[in-house]
Amino acid sequence: MGDTAPAALERVLQLCTSCLGVERVGVTCQRRRCSWYFPSDPTEQLLPLVRHTKTQYLANGTLHLIPLTDANNVIATLGIWHQGEALPPGVEEVAALVTEELKMRDLIGQMPLQQVKLKDSPVVIVMWEANPALPVCFISDNAQSLLGIDVMAVRAGAARFEDWLDEDDVKAFLRLLNAHARGARQSELDYRLKGQNGKVHWVRQHSVVQYDINGNVTAIYGFLLEQTHRKQLELQIKATRDRLSMVMDASGMGVADWDLAQDQLLMSPQCVAMLGVGREELEPCLHSWQQFIHPADINNVDESLKKHLTGLSADFHCEYRILLHNGEVRWLESHGRVVEFGSDGQPLRMLFMHQDISARKYQEKARERQQSLLNLIHQAQSIFLEEQDLAAACESIFEPLLALAESQFGFISEVHYSEEAKPFMRVKTISDISWDAPSRALYKKHVQNGLEFHNMETLFGQVILTAKAVISNNVRRDPNSGGTPKGHPPLDSFLGLPICYQGELLGLVGLANRSEGYSEDEITFLNPLIDTLGMLMHARLVEKARCEAEAELALLASTDTLTGLLNRRAFIRALNEVIAEHQPYTLVLMDLDHFKQINDTYGHSTGDKVLQHFAQLLRQHAKSTDVLARIGGEEFVWLLEGKDGMANYPLLEALRLAVAQQPFIQDGKAVTLTVSLGSTFLVGADDNGDEALNRADAALYQAKRQGRNCLVAA
């Protein structure tokens, strides 16, 4: 340990080994803490200090330890290794020879420090005595010019060396000197000195200790090198590095250095943290980063990297997802550039900067989804207003809704109630999930009119029965799933959303098979669209009720309330339309014979029932294209389609006979009826219905004059 032995001492040890005929000779100087051996020993182990000759028995021989003395002081230990137990002859002469050689080395090295010319040296030498007070026993003259220290004051003991130290550095400085006094061989320390002119000097001190012949520390040598400029640069670099580190920490950036030749990838702590693992879990190669890239993005990243490495792009830039071991998905943005090339132009080293942009990406995605949702709401409202068709509105948004909800299947349905007030679901908008020919045929057959589902022991049944959203992310094990038919595509997850308006359940939206499952967040996100569908369904119901009310009013305005046939006003309108279109029709005017007598005999209540009885017989004989009306008390009119009047004669005669042959039964008594009929064929010359009615009325009058219960054509 320590200095390399000079050639002279090596030759002495070699000579001793040869003269004594031993295997090995070594010497340790405890004061210098140095050892020399022949043959040489790479470990240069120190031999123990001994006062008397000692013998140690080893497994492969004997070691004799002999003290070397000068003026009765032990200055070194001589070691002799050989196979015998007794000391070989000539040991005393060898010991004397080695002692003289060591003494010569000390004489050469013990030149007074005051005689060393340090005036022009950049190194200041200070020596402290190794006692508890640690006084300075020597300080070189250049300490005054280089460091601004009052050398005379220090030498005279009027000031201590540490008086010139910065207060923050005194404690570390004294701790170092005390460590040397306890035996520490060497050390190094940076500290600040304040000169007489107030200037601050940064000093690097290299310290070594001096030992006496017994191995005790006697003095501490300090070699001081003024390095203010270098230290300032070092501090500036550190400050710059710290600021850069702060910037990177604040920005969340990570740095990676890739050695392409060795495929060695070094990643900063920030970079490792992005991957959600400990550094010990990562191999220092590119694959350790690539293995986290999302399968959907790996090709894009590889292509971008390949383009840069082959010189097709100025730098590498890519946004991609990584998939952590716990299933979490993060977005990274990476920039990179080759910074070192080989002599053949091949890239050797590339630097990367990675940044976690998950928050930004999720915000962008949230904004995009929100905008898409608003577009769907607007689209549904627009189509409903334009076409007044709820099914068309639902159909137009259905596929975009599945994409927005990241779902594989789904449906939009209405909720109806049976005559027994039991709810059921009618679906017109649904994914085509037919799995074979029979199911495909069933789907096509019923989808137009709506598929009906009456079984409420299902997940969507729970939505209907509770009017609350239902989430199931394990459909197969859900007790409410109800199962699926054989061959049906598997359902892994389900979300049912009730469509309500002011608390009334009107329908529901069902979504299935989202890869990440469903959560309350999806319910909150889709609520605006669900509310819109609720308003549209309610508006459709209101519109339907309005149309039905208007139809009912129109029916009341055009219908004879007693018989259900058209009234006079509605009939005249229908007659004029037929005449205006020049359609071939026969107009028949009918009057019940002796109807006043029936009223007088049986009462008006029975008379009303007789009128209803006749109207029923009239319906039985009329075609769907015919027009029937009651235009007076017992006066009826029949507008029949036909090319000429004679073509309808058998039908009119059949009606007359039916009236006569089918009396009205009142309380078990038969009320006999007959009817007189006057008909006319509508001709192209008719300008309006009045002319045709006048002809038919004249024919009816003629039938009455002929004895009633007959048909007369005009």
Helix, strand, coil percentages in the chain from 3-state DSSP, rounded to 5: 40, 30, 30
Q: Which residues pair with 509 in a beta bridge?
A: 412, 497
Token match 């460590």: residue? 179
What CA–CA distance (Å, rounded) separates 29 from 104? 13
What CA–CA distance (Å, rounded) separates 77 from 54? 11
What CA–CA distance (Å, rounded) separates 612 from 621? 15
| C-alpha of 703 from chain center | 91
Q: Using the 8-state DSSP alphabet, how is residue 151 labeled?
A: H
* Selection from 316, 307, 306, 309 nearest residue 347 by Cα: 309
- Enclosing H/E stretch for 146: helix 142-147
Prior bond to 39 cis, omega within 30? yes
- Enclosing H/E stretch for 231: helix 228-251
Token match 């009205």: residue? 664
Residue 581: strand, helix, or coil: coil
Q: What's at 386, amino acid-wise?
A: E
Residue 426: strand, helix, or coil: strand
Give the strand pairing for 24-29 and 34-38.
Answer: antiparallel
Through-space distance between the first and last CA atoms of the chain, rounded to whole angstroms: 148
Q: What are the backbone dihedrals phi and psi of residue 405, each rounded to the nearest 5 degrees, phi first?
A: -85, 0
| Sequence-distant (≥ 6) Cβ neighbours of residue 507 within 8 angstroms | 412, 413, 414, 415, 498, 499, 533, 534, 537
Q: Which residues pair with 194 in a beta bridge?
A: 200
Prior bond to 48 cis, omega within 30? no
Structure tokens at 51: 């006062």
Structure tokens at 597: 């007598």
What CA–CA distance (Å, rounded) separates 676 from 696? 11
What CA–CA distance (Å, rounded) separates 308 from 237? 31
Query: Is the separation of the CB atoms in 377 and 486 below 8 Å?
Result: no
Q: Using the 8-state DSSP alphabet, how is residue 48 labeled?
A: P
Q: What's at 580, amino acid-wise?
A: A
Catalytic residue from among 634, 635, 641, 653: 634
Q: Using the 8-state DSSP alphabet, how is residue 707 labeled?
A: T
Structure tokens at 346: 């091949």
Token match 């235009």: residue? 631
Q: Which residues pair with 138 in a beta bridge?
A: 127
Structure tokens at 184: 């520490």
Catalytic-residue membership of 634: yes
Structure tokens at 330: 């993060």
Show which residues are catalytic.
634
